[in-house]
Chains A and B, each alone.
Chain A
Amino acid sequence: MPTVSVNREALFKAIGQEYNDEEFDELCFKFGLEIDDIVDDPDKGMTYKIEIGANRYDLLCIEGIARTLRVFLGLETLPKFQVLPAKDPSQYKLIVKPAVAQVRPYIVGAVLRNIKFTQAIYDSFIDLQDKLHHNIARKRTLVAIGTHDLDTITGPFIYDAQPPKEISFVPLNQTEVFRSDVLLEKYTQDLHLREFVPIIKDKPVYPVILDQKGVVLSLPPIINGNHSKITLNTRNVFIECTATDRHKAQIVLDTLICMFSGYCDKPFTAEAVLVEYPDGEKIQYPTLQYRQQETSVAYCNVLTGVEENAEDMAKLLQSMSLSAKPTGPDTLMVEIPPTRYDVLHACDVAEDFAIAYGYDRLREDMQLPSTSTIGQEFELNYLSDKMRLLLSQNNYIEVATFSLCSKSDMGEKMKINLDKEPLVKIGNPKTMDFEALRISLLPGILKTVAANKHVSLPLRMFEVADVVVKDSCPVATRGTGARNKRHLCAINYNVKAGMEVVQGLLDNIMVALKVPFTEDGSSKGYYLEGKDYPSFFPGFSATVVVNGSPVGCLGLIHPEVVTSFNLNNPASVLEIDLQKVMEITDFGH
C-alpha cells in the first residue's frame, strides 16, 4: 500500500476547499482512502500521509488526488486527454534496435509541449516517477522512466543495447564522462541507486537511448544523462519509458501524461511519438486509452443491494471519473479513462458505483439470505472441541503456541535428529525462530512452561492443534506435498512428574472416545506398549496403540530435554495424533 505525502495547504488549495483534519479524514474515508498520519515536516510543513491502493495509479501525486476528489465532490468533470500530432513527426521517433530484445524489449514515449515548471511542480514530477518506479514498475524491473529537456536533444532517437565498454557519457549531476561499466560499479555504493544495479549489471549488453548527435539520453534503468537534464526553465519535455512489460509501460506513460499535462499551455494534451520496432511494427504513443466497458444496471444493483435506475447510476459514476451513458433500461456504456487502468471488469464499475452511492447509505438492516440451509461442522473440529473441553475439565490449562518454530527447538533441544523427520522448511524466515513448521506440539508447550516458571506448581497444560509434515501423496496433501495433522498434547510439570497423572488423562480421553482398555496385542481397544523415544527417559516411555495402530506416545521427558528448555522440574507428557484416532475409531459414526 503506497503512502503519498502531500502538503496540507497545497492540497486544499488544489481542491479549492478548506477542511479541518477531521472533515478531510471523513471525506477521504467516504472515497475509500485512509489518512495514515499527519506530521509536521520541517521542510514540507503540515503534511498528510495518505494511503493509496496499489492499483490506483492516478492517486500517486497531489495533482491526481486533488483532481479525483474534485470530481468526487462534483466540482469538476474529468478532462478529456488528447494526443496531438507531433510537431515534427520525423524527429519524434524512437527507433528500436534488435539488440534490446535480450535485455529490455519495449519502449514508449511522449512529448509534453510548453509546460511551465515551478519548484513544487518539479518536485511532484520527480516524486510521481519515484512512486511509479517503486509500485507498478516493481522497482524499475518492469518499467523505467526517463524524462528529458527536449530542446537539448535532437531526434529521431535510437533505442539500442550495447556492450558496457562502448557506452560513455556524463551521468546526471556529474561533470566527468564515465564508461557505463565503471559507472555501475560506482553506483553499487550509492544509497539510492544500488538496488537497481543488479537489473542489468551482468548482462552482455546495456540498454541505452541516444539522439542523432550521439548524446546519451539515458542508461535505463539506472540513470539519465546530464545533458538532457530537466530544469525549472525547461519548456518541452520528452518522456521515454523502457520496459520488460509492454502494457505496464503504457500505463506508466499515460499516468504521467494525465497527471502533468494540466500544466501545459494546451492543457491535457501530449504530442505523439512513433516507436518503430525492428520487425516493422510501428506504434504511436501515448495511448491515452479510453475503453468502453458495458455494464449491466441490474448487476450493479445486485452487488450493492440497492435499486437505482440507469440515469441515476450514470450520474453517480460520473463523480468517480467514469463517464457513463445509458444504452437501454438495463445497460450502461461506461467509458474508462486513461487514469483508471485499475478498472478491469464490470465488478470494478459496480464497486465505484457503491462508493459514489455512499457505503454509509447502503441498507442498514441486516438481511439474512432468503434460502435456509442446515449448518454443518467440520468433523475433525467437532471432535477437537470435545477433546479440548474434556481436557479443561480435567484441570489442564489450554495454551496456543506458534505453528512455526526453530530447528533447534524441534531437533537438538528435543534430542531428535531432524534429518530423519518429514520437516517442512521455510525459505524466507523472518527470524531464526520461524525456520520450519512444527512436527510436534511438545517444544511449544515446553517453551510455554519455561515462560511460566514463576507460577506455582503443578503446571498442567494442553494444546489441541495442527502440526505439518511432508508427504508425497497428492491426494492426502491436496496436491501440495505437505499436510496438517491434528495433535493433542498434554504435560504435567511438577515436583514429581507423575506419569500416572498423564496416563489417567489418557484413560479419560479413551473413555470419552468410547475406546476400551484392552490387553496387549489386541486389535480392538487401546493399550500402552513400552518403547524408547529420543526425547523421553529410557524405560519410561510407551507407544499408545489404538485398534492395533500406534497413535502417539506417553512418557517422562528426558532430563537433558528439561534442562535444554531452561526448566528444572520433571515433566510427563502425552502426545497423540487425534486425527488418526478419529479415523481409526470412526468416531461419531
Chain B
Amino acid sequence: MPSSTVNSVEILFTVLRKMIAEVVDVKQTTVKSWECTEEGTCLANDGSHEARLFSSLGKEGRLLADIKANIPNSNIALGAAMKNKLHGRAYPSKEWEFRPCCELNFDLDICKFRKLKAKQRNCYTNLKIGAYWVKKEGEKVVPIVSSITDEVQLHLQAVARGEAHAVPDKVKADYKKRKLIKEIEKTVFEVRKGSEFTTSVVKQEAEFTKDMIESGQWKNANFKPYNFKSKGRVELRSGHLHPLMQLRSEFRRIFLEMGFTEMPTNSYVESAFWNFDALFQPQQHPARDAQDTFYVSDPATCLEVPEDYLERVRKTHSEGGYGSIGYQCKWNRAEADKNLLRTHTTAVSARMLYKLAQVLVEAMSETSFEKAETYKRNRQPQNAHVKLIGAV
C-alpha cells in the first residue's frame, strides 16, 4: 500500500487498534514543511509592502507625511526599502592606502554605515550602491533606482508552491520572524498489510462474562491478548497512614524490641524548671531567649514544682555541687516558674529520672532490714536498669 497522510482522527484510532491485532502494520514518521501564513499569502499575491510603496512613488517621489497617512504598513515598507544592503567592493582611498584602517566590512548594513565615524566612512570610496530603492530627501521620499525586483514576493510564491527549499535558510528565518511563513509538522502514518490481513472486521473478546462461563460459549470466542503494558486500575481511593507516622512506628518498634519502656510524652506545655533548670541549662543561655523558645502567656506560670528538688537545683546552678563548680551566679525562681512549649523530650526524661529516684529512695527506706531486702530483690532487675526513651 502506498503511504498516505491520515487526516481523520477516527481512521487513525481504528488503524492503531488494528495495529495491535497484526492486521495492519503502521509506521509513524514526522515531516516538517513550510507554508505561508495569511499575511504571507496576501504578499505573495499582491507583492511586498515595500514593492507597493515603490510603485506608488512615481518619478518625483512623495512626501513622507503623505506616505504615512495613505499607504498601509508604511513604516514596514519604508524600513525595508531603506534598509537594503550596500553591495559592491570598497576600495581604500589614496590617503588611507598605507594606513591600517578600521575593519572594512564589505557587506555593510546602511544602519551600521551611518554609525561609522567620518574617518572610517571616508575609507569607503567607490561604493556601488546597488540595492537602495529609495532615500529620504528632506520631507520627501524619492526613488533611487528605476526598477526593482520584488524578491519577497517571488520567495513567498515559491513557498506556496511547495518549493521552500529554493529559498535560502537565512531568508526563511527572516520571513518567519516577520510572520510571513510558518513551519508545520505533519505526522505521517505508513500503513501496510500485516500478517493477519483481512478485510472483514472480527470482534474480539476482552474477557469472560458469567454468561459465557455458564453457557460454555467461551470455547468458541476469539480473545484479544491482554495488554500488560498499560497501567492498572484502582477501584476506590484507599486509606493510608501518614509517612511520618509510619517512620515513627518504625522507631518505636526498634526501641520496644530492645526492651525500652515508652515514656508518657503527651504534654506539650512544660515549666522552664523541668525543661531547662533541671537539665542544668543556665538561666542566661541563649536557648532560653524569647527568640528560640515559645513561652506560654496563659497559663504563664506553672502550678507547682517539687520544692526540695528545686532547692537542690538552685544550689547546683548558683554555687555548684555533685562535683561541678556550677555557674556562680544568682538563680532566679521566677525564671524557672515560666511555662513554655517543651523544646525537647529530654524534659520528660528529667521527670522520669526524678520519679525513678523517688521509687528507689522509697525502696531503700523500708524500716525492717528483711523487708528491705525482699523489696529490693523484687524490684532490682526492673528499676536499676530501666532505660527510658521519649516517643517522637
**Shortest Cβ distance from residue B350 to the other chain A in the assembled complex, whole angstroms:** 12
Q: Which residues, 367 to 402 on A, are CB-close (under 8 Å) to B?
A: 368-369, 371-378, 380-381, 385, 388-389, 391-400
Residue numbers in B under 8 Å from A470 (CB-CB)? 298-299
Nearest B residue to A137 by beta-carbon distance? B284
Measured CA separation A11–B299 after assembly (Å): 51
Take A388-B241, A395-B238, A398-B240 as given contacts and tell me if A427 and B386 are in contact as well, using a CB distance cutoff of 8 Å. Answer: no
Decide yes or no whether A114 CB sits under 8 A from chain B.
no
Measured CA separation A246–B327 after assembly (Å): 11
**Shortest Cβ distance from residue A373 to the other chain B in the assembled complex, whole angstroms:** 4
A478 & B381 in contact (Cβ 8 Å cutoff): no
Measured CA separation A393–B241 after assembly (Å): 9
Interface size class of B (residues with CB under 8 A): 35 or more
B263 & A378 in contact (Cβ 8 Å cutoff): yes
Decide yes or no whether B369 CB sits under 8 A from chain A.
no
**Shortest Cβ distance from residue A427 to the other chain B in the assembled complex, whole angstroms:** 4
Residue numbers in B under 8 Å from A344 (CB-CB)? 320, 324-327
Residue numbers in A under 8 Å from B249 (CB-CB)? 385
A377 & B284 in contact (Cβ 8 Å cutoff): no
Decide yes or no whether A229 CB sits under 8 A from chain B.
no
Q: Which residues, 179 to 205 on B, are CB-close (under 8 Å) to A?
A: none
A478 & B296 in contact (Cβ 8 Å cutoff): no
Measured CA separation A487–B58 after assembly (Å): 92
A479 & B325 in contact (Cβ 8 Å cutoff): no
Decide yes or no whether A518 CB sits under 8 A from chain B.
no
Residue numbers in B under 8 Å from A478 (CB-CB)? 267, 351
User: Quick one: CB contact mask for B319-346 with A, threshold 8 Å, 1 for yes?
Assistant: 0101111111100000000010100000
B239 & A427 in contact (Cβ 8 Å cutoff): no
Q: Residue B258 contacts which of A247, A375, A395 (CB distance < 8 angstroms)?
A: A375
Nearest A residue to B325 by beta-carbon distance? A344
Q: Residue B391 contacts which of A375, A378, A398, A428 (CB distance < 8 angstroms)?
A: A378
Nearest A residue to B244 by beta-carbon distance? A400
Decide yes or no whether B376 CB sits under 8 A from chain A.
no
Q: How many residues of A contact B (CB 8 A)?
A: 63
Q: Residue A437 contacts which of B269, B320, B328 (CB distance < 8 angstroms)?
A: B269
| Stretch in contact with the other chain, from B113-121, B132-140, B301-309 | B301-309
Decide yes or no whether B270 CB sits under 8 A from chain A.
yes
Take A375-B260, A378-B391, A426-B296 as given contacts and tell me if A477 and B237 are in contact as well, using a CB distance cutoff of 8 Å. Answer: no
A345 & B324 in contact (Cβ 8 Å cutoff): yes
Residue numbers in A under 8 Å from B252 (CB-CB)? 377, 381
User: Quick one: CB contact mask for A119-151 with B, threshold 8 Å, 1 for yes?
Assistant: 000000000000000010010001000000000
B269 & A482 in contact (Cβ 8 Å cutoff): yes
Residue numbers in A under 8 Å from B241 (CB-CB)? 388-389, 392, 398
Take A375-B260, A400-B242, A400-B245 as given contacts and tell me if A480 and B270 are in contact as well, using a CB distance cutoff of 8 Å. Answer: yes
* In the complex, the 5 A-B pairs of residues with the closest C-beta atoms, listed nearest first: A427-B297, A481-B299, A392-B239, A247-B328, A345-B324
Q: Which residues of B contact A (CB under 8 A)?
A: 236-242, 244-245, 249, 252, 255-271, 284-286, 290, 294-305, 320, 322-329, 339, 341, 351, 381-382, 385-387, 391
- Taking A138-B284, A481-B303 as given, write out 14 further A-B residue pairs in contact, using a Cβ cutoff of 8 Å, ordered by the A residue number: A54-B286, A247-B328, A344-B325, A377-B262, A381-B252, A404-B294, A424-B298, A429-B294, A466-B266, A468-B269, A478-B267, A479-B305, A482-B339, A484-B266
Give me 17 A-to-B residue pairs in the complex whose CB atoms sit less than 8 angstroms apart, sorted by A's number.
A135-B286, A246-B329, A344-B326, A346-B323, A373-B261, A375-B257, A375-B259, A375-B260, A381-B252, A388-B245, A400-B245, A427-B294, A427-B295, A466-B266, A466-B268, A477-B267, A480-B302
Q: Which residues of A contact B (CB under 8 A)?
A: 54, 135, 138, 142, 245-248, 291, 344-346, 368-369, 371-378, 380-381, 385, 388-389, 391-400, 403-404, 423-429, 434, 437, 460, 466, 468, 470, 472, 474, 477-484, 486
